[in-house]
Structure 1
């Protein structure tokens, strides 16, 4: 999910650049953006980190390398990949997926998190640079929400993502990408600003999927979760009402795990 500071004043400007906004409409959107920032607030804590080795019996994390041979699993992207909003380390999406992979593969899984809260797709370059020193066997990428607030052109964002995916796959890494989530599910963003956010984020998700067709990455539309977050916000969002909580990340992990199992050659 994107950073809240400056939230969707940018989207209002983007909407204006596409269809034109009257002075009154722009003032309304700008006012609503300030209100959304006030309601959501700014995250004060960094996500937990629980990198390490996870085992088929559900145990872990053990220190990195403790298991000897293990499936190397790298997580890349923004706060939704890093797990901002999870109440405990056990509820981080990377941890949930590492445990699920270990059980399904019947092998130890070594989790390394490269994701950085607040990252845009441009930030994947540095994350992939770090990972290529010892490429993981399988990688998950969740990114895109911050590109909306940063006014990064949709075509540019999607092309950047495809380039970083190719860098990983050319190094022998199997890649799974979760597309940009539906920002219209974030209810503290008032209407009509939320509709602008929804339109932009859905367009980016579609562009990401199109850009990845020519790669070997498996693509998972995170918009499949939209109805759950729209109808059960109190259960699935963290206290900031913006990032998922542990239950929200568990729902996302359930959607992503089959693709990750497929990427490792483990049918599920």
Structure 2
């Protein structure tokens, strides 16, 4: 899991890139080991509740509905909903229900996101999505790029290419950029500050890449991470790295505005709902 690896890899990157002294590098490595002992990983698969949701909140239904707006979730554990206590608190479900209510039509949720994915893994998810291109997609990815020491510029180029494939297929995409991983409090200082700088730099690069292809972005670092930093006991799951149901609900409320705006553009070219 990203939470378990981040404390080791950031310390390594700081030592190799930042030119730290042996003593400083030893301090960061020691902090990484202590934080690793606090952050525990999930051993189970994320919940899944794909299907059709109605404007009254009912669902999921497996029946086909030609009037349904197809909404896809792509990315990493945050898009998959790791940490949610039940299906009703998965981010995809929360967003699908919100979209259905706002649009006044059924919404079909399809989740392609896989926990642990990096930007380079997004291509396989897009391949699956393009078998039946969704009308609307939300992409959340980047945290594992930090843990894997991926080059920020390379990640941004790969992201633009794969999101661009969705756009070319007619999918309207909203991108939630990398959250501020400095909000993960089990990571001690100064390691946490290095993590923050890396994740924020990646988020900026993601936004620039999406601007170039005309994709709407939502800054999790600006709009979501500060609340997690202020209320960690309320919004983090027991692993203290992933959100819990309340955390996903808060994030979904932030994301829903941009998704509803995108859905309005989509539904103008769709059949009228029955």
- What's the TM-score once normalised by structure 1's chain length? 0.96
Matched residues in 1 for 2:263 and 2:22: separation? 53
Listed one character per residue, the Cα deviations across residues 161-193 of structure 1 (whole Å, up to 9, x for unaligned) are: 111110000000000000000000000111111
* Structure 1 vs Structure 2 CA RMSD: 1.3
The answer on 1:107 being equivalent to 2:105 is: yes
1:67 to 62, 65, 70: 65
- The answer on whether the counterparts of 2:7 and 2:36 sit within 8 Å (CA) in structure 1 is no
Listed one character per residue, the Cα deviations across residues 186-222 of structure 1 (whole Å, up to 9, x for unaligned) are: 0011111111111100110011001111112110000
State the secondary structure of the residue aligned to 1:141: strand
Tell me by how many angstroms 1:11 deviates: 1.4
- What's the TM-score once normalised by structure 2's chain length? 0.94
Tell me by how many angstroms 1:266 deviates: 5.9
Tell me by how many angstroms 1:14 deviates: 2.1
Equivalent residue runs for 1:24-35 within 5 Å: 24-35=23-34
Listed one character per residue, the Cα deviations across residues 138-175 of structure 1 (whole Å, up to 9, x for unaligned) are: 00000000000001001111111111110000000000
Which position in structure 1 is the counterpart of 2:8?
Answer: 9
Matched residues in 1 for 2:34 and 2:119: separation? 27
Could you tell which deviates more after superposition, 2-11 or 205-214?
A: 2-11
Matched residues in 1 for 2:16 and 2:144: separation? 19
Matched residues in 2 for 1:41 and 1:212: separation? 33
Tell me by how many angstroms 1:35 deviates: 1.2
State the secondary structure of the residue aligned to 1:6: helix
Tell me by how many angstroms 1:91 deviates: 0.3
State the secondary structure of the residue aligned to 2:137: strand
Which position in structure 2 is the counterpart of 1:143?
Answer: 141
Matched residues in 2 for 1:93 and 1:6: separation? 24
Which position in structure 1 is the counterpart of 2:42?
Answer: 43
- The answer on whether the counterparts of 1:104 and 1:266 sit within 8 Å (CA) in structure 2 is no
Matched residues in 2 for 1:38 and 1:256: separation? 32
The answer on 1:237 being equivalent to 2:250 is: no
Matched residues in 2 for 1:31 and 1:45: separation? 29
- The answer on whether the counterparts of 2:47 and 2:82 sit within 8 Å (CA) in structure 1 is yes
Could you tell which deviates more after superposition, 40-49 or 69-78?
A: 40-49
Tell me by how many angstroms 1:44 deviates: 1.4
Matched residues in 1 for 2:265 and 2:66: separation? 20
Matched residues in 2 for 1:183 and 1:251: separation? 17
Tell me by how many angstroms 1:132 deviates: 0.4
The answer on 1:217 being equivalent to 2:218 is: no
Matched residues in 2 for 1:228 and 1:213: separation? 26
Listed one character per residue, the Cα deviations across residues 208-246 of structure 1 (whole Å, up to 9, x for unaligned) are: 001111112110000121221111001000111110001
- The answer on whether the counterparts of 2:14 and 2:25 sit within 8 Å (CA) in structure 1 is no
Tell me by how many angstroms 1:28 deviates: 1.0
Matched residues in 2 for 1:193 and 1:70: separation? 46
Q: Which runs of 5+ in 1 are unaligned?
A: none
- The answer on whether the counterparts of 2:133 and 2:171 sit within 8 Å (CA) in structure 1 is yes
The answer on 1:126 being equivalent to 2:124 is: yes
- The answer on whether the counterparts of 1:85 and 1:244 sit within 8 Å (CA) in structure 2 is yes
